[in-house]
Amino acid sequence: MEFESYFPIWDKLNKQQQERIKNSLAFRQVKKGTIIHNGNMDCTGLLLIKSGQLRAYILSDEGREITIYRLFDMDVCLFSASCIMRSIQFEITIEAEKNTELWVIPSEIYKSIMEASAPVANYTNELMASRFSDVMWLIEQVMWKSLDKRVAAFLLEESAIEETNELKITHEIIANHLGSHREVITRMLRYFQNEGMVKLSRGTVLITDEEKLRELSK
């Protein structure tokens, strides 16, 4: 499968627009852990994921992190091209959570097509609305949900993504996803272990009672 079949609005572009994108496109293979974009870097461009997994997060002045959203196969990352819109005034960091293959559409090319094309502009709207919904969900989580529920929900999400109950993940990484501290997560996971929901070993969280964890996460 090639770019044309991955890019959701390929058929809505005219021949000339298709040519411009094809001729400016870059294909990249990035290793797990690579920082693909951060707020201070140049405007990287739109990312279309062929395969892999990306994480978008924000950083505090003190270096704390919280995950804003994650992207998977066929997803498009808009905020790595934040310079295409004047009103985007925040900085996001994007990191490969797995080895990832992706296409980069240069920001200036996408911008000039979007300015002329209603379908591309409306597609961009839907992309942004979808990320907006992720962020609103996050605010609700952070504001109204206690950390035990958020940790439980995160473990279940990871288990669904990785298709296993044996999660290879450190307490620090969980803390960085949830905007918490490692020590707090460790304490929480030990409590989960006492309750029989997980079993902890070095670098691994084994989910032993998914049902109970799901009940807690509600």
Contact set with a copy of itself (CB under 8 A): 58, 60-62, 64, 66, 68, 85-90, 114-118, 120-122, 124-133, 135-140, 142-144, 179
DSSP line for 107-141:
HHHHHHHHHH-HHHHHHHHHHHHHHHHHHHHHHHH
Give min distance, CB of 200 to a copy of itself, in A. 26
Structure token digits, residue 6: 């991955």
**Count of C-beta atoms within a 10 Å radius of residue 141:** 17
Give min distance, CB of 214 to a copy of itself, in A. 18
**C-alpha closest to that of 98 among 64, 73, 79, 81:** 73
Nearest residue (CB) to a copy of itself, 11 versus 61: 61
Nearest residue (CB) to a copy of itself, 178 versus 189: 178
Nearest residue (CB) to a copy of itself, 5 versus 89: 89
Give min distance, CB of 218 to a copy of itself, in A. 11
Nearest residue (CB) to a copy of itself, 30 versus 68: 68
Which residue(s) pair with 51 in the sheet?
101
Distance CA 96, CA 53 (A): 6
Give min distance, CB of 171 to a copy of itself, in A. 19
Nearest residue (CB) to a copy of itself, 47 versus 207: 47
Distance CA 177, CA 173 (A): 6
Distance CA 84, CA 64 (A): 27
Contact by Cβ (8 Å): 9, 74: no
Nearest residue (CB) to a copy of itself, 1 versus 139: 139
Give min distance, CB of 43 to a copy of itself, in A. 14
Give min distance, CB of 32 to a copy of itself, in A. 26
Specify whether the backbone of 52 is left (phi greater than 0), alpha (psi in -120 to 50) or beta: left
Q: Which residue has the tokens 């979808």?
A: 130
